[in-house]
């Protein structure tokens, strides 16, 4: 294996995504532990002005929406940005992370697709699922309905099922690489 081997350069990036996933899951689980402690501690919250299952229903609805959207939104983002890569108009720069035109031209298709995976498949999905889990944890802390805690734990399970393994990342890169080649031929 030489220094230009994509597996060598991709491994640290995959590890970073895996590390972020583990930290995010631990944060959610820690918050759920805190919610259980608050709810079952010496002074559980009492909200007499709010009908009992209000936050629970909102949390369940938010979780259902995020579960659906986590299957719909990332593929749309990937398709749009893959077309931009094929046309040569893709620029993932942001104010905090500018990428020069020269640096962008030096990036391989695999690097571009990995960045696309990181920003769409990984980040968007993780944010959606974690937000829904936090909302359900807060609903449990406020109302004590066990359904909210179960929903939050199911969302954590989905986060772990979407864990960015090497095979999952490689499958994404190969599938998107093939679609990118097809789109370049049609352009």
pLDDT tens digits for range 122-170: 999 999 999 999 999 999 988 889 999 999 999 999 999 999 999 999 9
Q: How confident is the model at residue 9 (pLDDT cuts 50, 70, 90)?
A: confident
pLDDT over 90 at 102, yes or no = no
Q: How confident is the model at residue 101 (pLDDT cuts 50, 70, 90)?
A: confident
Residue 79 inside a domain? The answer is yes
The domain of 116 spans 6-186
Find out whether 171 and 113 touch, Cβ atoms under 8 Å: no
Residue 82 inside a domain? The answer is yes
Residue 20 inside a domain? The answer is yes
Q: d(Cα 137, Cα 56) in Å, to the nearest integer?
A: 9
Residue 105 has a pLDDT of 81
Angle ∠(75,96,173) on CA atoms, nearest 5: 30
Residue 47 inside a domain? The answer is yes
Residue 40 inside a domain? The answer is yes
Residue 1 inside a domain? The answer is no
Instruction: Dump pLDDT digits (tens) for 20-73.
Output: 999 999 999 999 999 999 888 888 777 666 667 889 999 999 999 999 999 999
Residue 55 inside a domain? The answer is yes
Residue 176 has a pLDDT of 94
Whole-structure pTM value: 0.84
Buried b (16+ CB within 10 A) or exposed e, 118-156: bbbbbebbbebbbebbbbbbbbbbbbbbebbbebbbbbb
Q: Could you tell me the two tokens for 165?
A: 């393994």
Residue 48 has a pLDDT of 65
Residue 149 inside a domain? The answer is yes
SS (H, E, C) the chain: CCCCCHHHHHHHHHHHHHHHHHHHHHHHHHHHHHHHHHHHCCCCCCCCCCCCCHHHHHHHHHHHHHHHHHHHHHHHHHHHHHHHHHHCCCCCCCCCCCCCHHHHHHCCHHHHHHHHHHHHHHHHHHHHHHHHHHHHHHHHHHHCCHHHHHHHHHHHHHHHHCCCCHHHHHHHHHHHHHHHHHHHHHC
Residue 1 has a pLDDT of 38
Average pLDDT over residues 16-21: 93
Tally the domains of the chain. 1
Residue 10 has a pLDDT of 80
Residue 126 has a pLDDT of 94
Q: Could you tell me the two tokens for 108?
A: 């391989």
């Amino acid at each position: 294996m030489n220094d230009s081997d994509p597996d060598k350069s991709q491994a640290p990036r995959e590890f970073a995504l895996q590390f972020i996933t583990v930290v995010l899951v631990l944060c959610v689980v820690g918050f759920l532990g805190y919610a259980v402690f608050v709810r079952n501690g010496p002074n559980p919250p009492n909200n007499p002005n709010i009908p009992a299952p209000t936050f629970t229903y909102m949390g369940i609805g938010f979780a259902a929406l995020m579960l659906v959207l986590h299957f719909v939104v990332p593929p749309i983002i990937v398709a749009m940005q893959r077309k931009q890569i094929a046309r040569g108009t893709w620029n993932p720069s942001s104010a905090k992370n500018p990428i020069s035109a020269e640096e962008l031209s030096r990036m391989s298709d695999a690097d571009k697709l990995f960045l696309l995976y990181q920003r769409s498949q990984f980040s968007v999905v993780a944010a959606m699922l974690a937000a829904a889990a936090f909302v359900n944890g807060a609903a449990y802390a406020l109302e004590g309905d066990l359904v909210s805690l179960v929903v939050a734990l199911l969302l954590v399970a989905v986060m772990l099922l979407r864990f960015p393994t090497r095979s999952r990342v490689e499958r994404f890169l190969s599938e998107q690489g093939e679609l990118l080649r097809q789109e370049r031929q049609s352009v």
